[in-house]
Amino acid sequence: MKLLVSNDDGVYALGLRTLANQLAAAGHEVTVVCPDRERSATGHGLTLHRPIRADQVEAVFHPTIKAWACSGTPADCVKLALWALLDSPPDLVLSGINHGANLGTDVLYSGTVSAAMEGVLEGIPSIALSLCSFTLREFGPAAQFAQSLVTQLAQHPLPELLLLNVNIPPLPAEKIAGVRVTRQGIRRYIDLFDRRVDPRGKTYYWLAGEVLEEVTDTSSFADQAPTDVDAVREGYIAITPLQFNLTSAAGLTMLQNWRSQQGAESFGVFTF
């Protein structure tokens, strides 16, 4: 398969190199386009007010891989690859392997997930991969699973355009309990700002939030599948299908019922 690989940890990140080299060694045509430095938690930001530069990277990856370091965001990297650097679209976009989890509401901030979502926006199925640890540096099991998943998708393509958000527990391969198809869980943070003073006497703040995972789940999917947070906690690889359409079906129905149940409503000079 023809694969585009990106990330948000930067072009020299170990997780990226492990993933790209594993896929290339398996015979896939791999192109890497990644930020030239770490761009974690940049979400789906794009560079609009300065030029984007891309320089080829040599002697870092498997010899069959073409690689570029891009000055932009993760979403910039995928957009630039698809519209300027590649001669034809890839079969899949992969992002990662991220150093750290992208569970629950992390996906709204994640540059890793946003790079993959850019592929979906351009009509290409995509995979975001994350190792759920900031300290473990053994990406082998995650890369092996990614290779197996790519093989599975080559043989059985997704029936609709999706992003598969994959989170791998930080365990040796033999201790991973299995694979679960999951729904997006709830991973909120208590946002704490550490107030500090620089050497010139100026105050600044450093975000130092704590994860709050134990939140009551009231979603409509509560009885259909385990959450990604729970699956990883229990030692399973979590695969969560995501889409970019954030419309609330329940909210849409509720708002439409306002008029049918109560007649026309007035919002100042506007009638609903």
User: Which pLDDT tens digits describe the chain residue by residue (272 residues)?
Assistant: 999 999 999 999 999 999 999 999 999 999 999 999 999 989 999 999 999 999 999 999 999 999 999 999 999 999 999 999 999 999 999 999 999 999 998 999 999 999 999 999 999 999 999 999 999 999 999 999 999 999 999 999 998 999 999 999 999 999 999 999 999 998 777 767 888 999 999 999 887 766 766 555 555 555 678 999 999 999 999 999 999 998 988 888 888 887 677 666 666 666 66
**What pTM was computed for the model?**
0.91
Q: Count of alpha carbons within 13 Å of 89, Cβ hemisphere only?
A: 12
Q: For the chain, where are the E strands, in sequence order? A: 2-6, 29-35, 54-57, 66-70, 92-99, 126-131, 163-168, 178-181, 188-190, 193-197, 203-207, 210-212, 236-242, 266-267, 270-271
CATH tag for 2-185+218-251 (out of 3.90.50.10, 3.40.1210.10, 3.30.300.20, 3.40.50.2300): 3.40.1210.10
Q: CB-based contacts of 44: which residues, under 8 Å, 6+ apart?
A: 75, 114, 117, 118
How far apart are the C-alpha atoms of 6 and 20, rounded to whole Å? 9
How far apart are the C-alpha atoms of 44 and 23, rounded to whole Å? 26
Whether the upstream peptide bond of residue 190 has omega within 30° of 0, thus cis, is no
